[in-house]
Structure 1
Amino acid sequence: MDTQVADTLLGSLIDGRYRIRGRVARGGMATVYTATDERLERTVAVKIIHPTQAPEARARIANFVARFTDEAKTIARLTHPNVVAVYDQGTHAGLPYLVMEYVRGRTLRDVLAERRRLNPDEVLAIAEQMLAAIAAAHRAGLVHRDVKPENVLVAEAPTGGVANLVDSVVKVADFGLARAVEASADDEQGNQLMATVAYVAPELVTEGRADPRTDVYSAGIVLFEMLTGRVPYDGDRPVDVAWQHVDRDVPAPSTLVPGLPPALDGLVQRATRRDPAARPADAGALLAEVQVARDRLGDVNSTSTAVLRRVTDEPPVSQPTMMVATVRPAERPTWARLPEGGSQGTGRRRAAPEPDEGLGARLAALRSAVMGNPRGRLAVAAVVVTLGLVAALGGWWFGVGRYTSAPQLVSLSKADAQAQADRAGLILAYGEPRYDEKAPKDSVLGQDPASASKIVKGGTITLTLSLGPERFPVPDVIGKEYELAEADLVNLKLVAAKGTSRYDDTLPAGVVLDSSPKVGAEVKPGTKITLILSRGRAPVSVPNLVGKSLTQARTILAQLNLKPVETYKDSDKPKDEILGQSPADGAGVEKGTEVKLDVSKGPPLVVVPRVIDLPCQQAKQVLESQGFPVTVALNPNAVARIQAPGENSQVPPGTPVVITCF
């Protein structure tokens, strides 16, 4: 009998805000649920990492959660219409989760499972949006590391449903998630390959490194699969598939699907070259190639019939060249639109017509006929006046009337600048923002045209906004060799400098122990970061002195050229016995270093009671009851006449007392 375990998360409330409504999918790393954000009253997707994806030992979970949280914060700053937005992150029952935009649709893997392979126009339409999302991540310094159909979502198209793939909205998910898991795994297991082997780039297999060209390779494999309905390599073991990416070139898609345009073969082969340097530099470069290929293939097909025939004198063959739907640049969304350029005429300029030999004579006859008639002269005068007025008005309009003065927008906030432009009937555009030490974020640094310059009414002013002061957190370079730490700082426009080195028992010489300013402090470009380096283990090892007498400790420290610093403390231990030391035994120190010793004052003193004039046996019982060993002298059956130590003497506990009885 099958037993199905209920999902305990269904119906639960996460972080007092997200009510889990249903489970959408369960993958290799996480489970995705639909949830209601009860604070904002909207449907969201909640992705919770599986317990098996967090390191098994509880001591490693905190490290994984910290890495996952850092990645989530970076991804949340990535805003693009083709990127699944990240709204929130946190932990639930010790496991990290992400709150993301809920996309109504299905994954590209689901589409391929249903259709097997897609038409070239559908492939290029999906590829444009997929690459636009990855290109935005590359511009932000992110590498996806796990581009595959499972991470590409095909949302409902504006024209209805996901069946119309050319018009569908494509969104890419899981930016940085593979990196967070991989980073946690690397700490414990070495360079573990986290990318899906069917789409893994050769450099990830051989060197374990990833950069934007790694995503370009994976995107090329996804293009191959959309065109052919299969991935280029398979094998019995994942490692066999991975090494085929290293040892073999990806075949042209047309070898599996005859009739595909050569331009598509070229796209796939350039994106999947084994040498990263031979691929497009990043997803933006590959996106530009896809757009150019789509326009060119569309232009060719716009002049073709429904079924293209080869342009030869031979009869049609059985495998016609496949068509790609024409897409005009204006039909694309703004982020994917290519610059529009006017076509240049290629024909030669027409020769001017030869002048008519009788033209001059005919013009002279016409002039005589008009000017010889008074009504003709009046008409000519009216025409001249009218033309003059038109010319004057036209000159005023083109020279003055159609212009206004550009308002002063520099130093205003973005909102205030927009209000000023609205009042003046002008349009604002925004250029590349830049950092500025003095101007707050989103204030206007510059405008084109400048203030008081002439601008056509209803024209556009381009503003340059401030990103605020440029600041970097001091990176964590503790434990790195100086050269590697210096490279990390230089990459962030910071300056590395060596500070005073010191001995350390754990880190070898030349490794960074500390920095000033501290790790994580916000600093501006060009700030000098002073690195404190280890000198390695100190030459003298501190011996174990606890339990020894003060005299012994002094002798041992003197032989090692170390200085004792003594502090007396109350203790039950014998007087002058060493109770503790700092540094601890085994620590490395330099000669002349002070060693702090905690020395016992001895047990606290007790008062000897008076037993004189008591019967000898009674006196003995009194003293022994208070812990004093008793010795009786002379007659034990007589009366105690003398006691030593004397009555009310303060002595250490257990001091022997002699009573003399007679």
Structure 2
Amino acid sequence: MDIQVADTLLGSLVDGRYRIRGRVARGGMATVYTATDERLDRTVALKIIHPSQANDAQQRPGGFLDRFTDEAKTIARLTHPNVVAVYDQGTHAGLPYLVMEYVRGRTLRDILVERHRLKPDEALAILEQMLAAIAAAHRAGLVHRDVKPENVLVAEAPSGGTGDLVDSVVKVADFGLARAVEASSDEDAGGQLLATVAYVAPELVTDGHADPRTDVYAAGIVLFEMLTGRVPYDGDRPVDVAWQHVDRDVPLPSTLVPGLPPVLDELVTRATRRDPAARPTDAGSLLTEVQAAHENLGGGTSNDSTTVLRRVTDPTTAIAQPTMVVSAVRPSDTRPSWARLPEQTGQTRTHRRRAAAQSSGFGGRLLEFRDRVMAHPRGGVAAIATVVALVLVVALTGWWFGFGRYTVAPELVAMTKADAESTATKAGLSLTYGTPRYDAKAAKDTVISQDPPSSERIVKGGTITLILSLGPDRFPVPDVVGKTLELAQIDLEAAGLVVVQGPQRYDDSLPAGVVVAVTPKVGAEVSPNSKITVTVSKGRAPLSVPNLVGKSVTEARSMLTQLGLVPVETYKDSDKPKDQVIGQSPADGAGVEKGTEVKLEVSKGPPAVVVPRVVDLPCAAAKQQLEGLGFPVNVQFNPNGTVRYQNPGENAQVPPGTQITIGCL
């Protein structure tokens, strides 16, 4: 019996060196295998392109095949512990392949499927290492463009633990879709969207532009998913999801998972601003903010020894006497060495210096020196002088460190950035700026807080940290017209708005229960917690307006009265016959309620025309002039004579088309 192998590459030897042992994953463009490098006797990951992609690439030079071939060169430029390394490149049976570092672990997607969501300290620990890898790419001039959980590998923790992800090692993979920043506009001139829609930045959707802030946005979405267990947007079609990134702000994670610290909401909001200019400039900048947030949550490392007092009872004693046993316990580090935050070693060095001073016998030598001084005949005077000098030095030093080196911080709050810098310069102080934030009362670039506050002490020449206002946080009213009231309320409240239900009204095109209008209107700029009045359709009105155009006003009145509608007439000049309806509102077929006013435009008839004087003109010329004005002409007596009279007479106002009689002799 013949046995057909599902994957012909399993067990094969690639390039005389790599023995394929098993398949790890199969994607849309390539398949990843585990293989043994028989030359170096190590396990590697081998990524080989699908035959369909290779055939397609050969037909389109410069397409995917070129991007795949460039992947090795791209990653080879990155040397970082959090980046999956590339070892080799080549072709096998006409198919390009890459040989990469084999990471023993799972993807972040696998972990999220299993655990749904992560604890805040785990999410931040993973994000820090992700951003460290992406920041290395940004420093090399590269943009990943496809940051998502599937491209994040979580390896076994260095300590061997598996339950807590804080100590796990994270590596970012698939930089093959990255583009050099300086070439991104030329290479993607067609606006091709390579990123996964759940994590795509708004600027990639609107104009196809990618820069480091695009990766910052995607990292913010990944953080949102780690904290909440879901992505912020979904839809029936990928394009619907993509455009939600353009039209809507990412909701706060705490709205889905109550109890999350506000600092996590701030991180997600900062990273996922729809305006790229409002985000951190690159992954390195976001990493700094994430590390600060992690420290605020108590997720950082500590190097201070913790003294633990343990009470011990001696069971052999007749009366149990508790004894205090003191032991120094140092908390274990929770990060790999290459992912730790900067250590705070000041106290440790202080303790070491103090111990060294004690071990050197400094106190004994000081006593010995005092004895020799006092043994001298004038030793007493010298000792007093020395003591006085020391007292003066100590006093001056104490005054300097306690008072002299300080000045008072000026009041900078409510100043513009330029005025604050000018004031600080005059005071001999420096300024630094913290993360700006929105403020409903302060204009943009106005100081809303300072550290240290005004009137508090600050070292001369020191630095004051300012927080500037981004201005009121305003955003457009979401388009909820056409949605049911329940869905519209969810969208508006997710945007931080307060929903107020207004009076219902009939609508010919929208069914009952559907939003027909909002006030302020869709797209209007509003601030958070603004009230949005929602008008809901009652469905089509019970009465239909008949077609009245062309009917006499008397007939139109009768028809409307019979239906219980109120005619309102307006007369205007028209070439239509007098008292004929020439317009109506609402239009025929519109649904209305009983008692609704129907406006009728009624013709006053054609405007009167002034008859010119033709007396004393040759008969032929008079006839031509009158006919040119639209009057039919009745010529009496001699057609070749001169007009002696006309009827109607000159300057008479008559309806258009009135016959004019002229008598010629």
User: TM-score category by the smaller chain?
Assistant: 0.3 to 0.5
The TM-score with structure 1 as length reference comes to 0.45
TM-score, normalization by structure 2: 0.45
